């Protein structure tokens, strides 16, 4: 798996146009759409906005903090953090289309002055040492095999005493996953790891883990609600994460849910101090 493979997996090709069409189906325009309208598509991780609130609130982000979003996608969590905590956020992502789309959306909702998204690798970030008070990554590590290098690089850019949060899908047990899933079409582009690998590599980088929470039951309830809404509406919403997952989106979600039910994977939160 290379960074090019990862970027290609997430590249859509016409994402801004797709989002504009969804906004129009809501009866809105890019001048009237709100963060809440965008939340179902904006936050590409299990649990969406609800997960962002529960996870990021643990990081104690203050308005004067410099905040880093590692693997920012189209910037949904960056915009949520900037709006909720009144902070400025820098985000990086491998997928150039996601970054360009994210910066466009930030302009739509008037947050472009407080959010800077750029294309970059999490293994070699364009920031100096001791830059950030807070950092987080949400559903990113599944595409980065070298967790040791990843957490060492994040530790490098964090100020002493800074708080870093991880919300990733992690591996449990030895059974084979069913593919495709949202982060990978095949096993060759997946880099799942169990919680103990995260703990070991975080601590090896210099972090002290202060909290950990398995979110399996939360994930199952989230997918149950999502499926019920889609069924009741006779199809997916105007804006939703299905717009980001391409033609195999239905089977990706089905497989991810089955893998969680079978106890093979689960989303896990970890919070650590530098």
Token pair 């559903």: residue:
139
Tokens of 103: 């910066």
3-state helix, strand, coil in the chain (%, to 5): 45, 20, 30
Residue 112 CB neighbours (<10 A): 16
Strand pairing of 265-273 and 66-70?
unpaired
Nearest to 47 by CA among 170, 224, 173: 224
d(CA 192, CA 201): 14
The confidence score (pLDDT) of residue 241 equals 86
The confidence score (pLDDT) of residue 126 equals 98
- Domain 3-268: top CATH class: alpha beta
Phi and psi dihedrals of 256, rounded to 5?
-65, -45
Terminal Cα-to-Cα distance of the chain (whole angstroms): 29
The confidence score (pLDDT) of residue 236 equals 85
* b/e per residue 116-131 (b: at least 16 CB within 10 A): bbeebbbeebebeeeb
The confidence score (pLDDT) of residue 102 equals 97
The confidence score (pLDDT) of residue 59 equals 98
The confidence score (pLDDT) of residue 232 equals 86
Question: What are the 10-residue block averages of pLDDT along the chain, 274 residues in total?
Answer: 89 93 95 94 92 97 98 97 98 97 97 97 98 98 97 98 98 92 93 98 98 97 87 86 85 93 97 98
pTM: 0.95
Token pair 């008037």: residue:
110
d(CA 79, CA 60): 16
Tokens of 220: 């199952």
């Amino acid at each position: 798996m290379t960074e090019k493979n990862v970027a290609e997996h997430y590249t859509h090709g016409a994402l801004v146009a797709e989002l504009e069409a969804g906004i129009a189906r809501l009866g809105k325009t890019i001048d009237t759409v709100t963060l809440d309208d965008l939340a179902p598509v904006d936050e590409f991780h299990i649990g969406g906005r609800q997960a962002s609130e529960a996870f990021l609130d643990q990081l104690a982000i203050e308005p004067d903090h410099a905040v880093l979003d590692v693997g920012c996608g189209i910037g949904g969590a960056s915009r949520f953090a900037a709006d909720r905590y009144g902070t400025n956020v820098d985000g990086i992502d491998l997928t150039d289309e996601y970054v360009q789309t994210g910066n466009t959306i930030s302009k739509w909702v008037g947050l472009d002055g407080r959010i800077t998204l750029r294309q970059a690798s999490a293994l070699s970030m364009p920031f100096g040492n001791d830059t950030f008070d807070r950092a987080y990554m949400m559903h990113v590590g599944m595409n980065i095999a070298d967790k040791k290098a990843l957490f060492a690089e994040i530790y490098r850019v964090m100020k002493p005493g800074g708080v870093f949060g991880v919300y990733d899908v992690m591996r449990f047990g030895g059974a084979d996953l069913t593919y495709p899933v949202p982060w990978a079409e095949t096993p060759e582009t997946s880099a799942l790891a169990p919680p103990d690998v995260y703990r070991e590599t975080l601590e090896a980088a210099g972090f002290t883990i202060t909290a950990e929470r398995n979110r399996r039951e939360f994930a199952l309830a989230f997918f149950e609600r999502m499926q019920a809404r889609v069924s009741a509406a006779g199809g997916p919403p105007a804006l939703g994460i299905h717009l980001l997952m391409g033609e195999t989106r239905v089977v990706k979600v089905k497989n991810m849910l089955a893998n969680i039910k079978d106890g093979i994977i689960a989303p896990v939160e970890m919070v650590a101090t530098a």
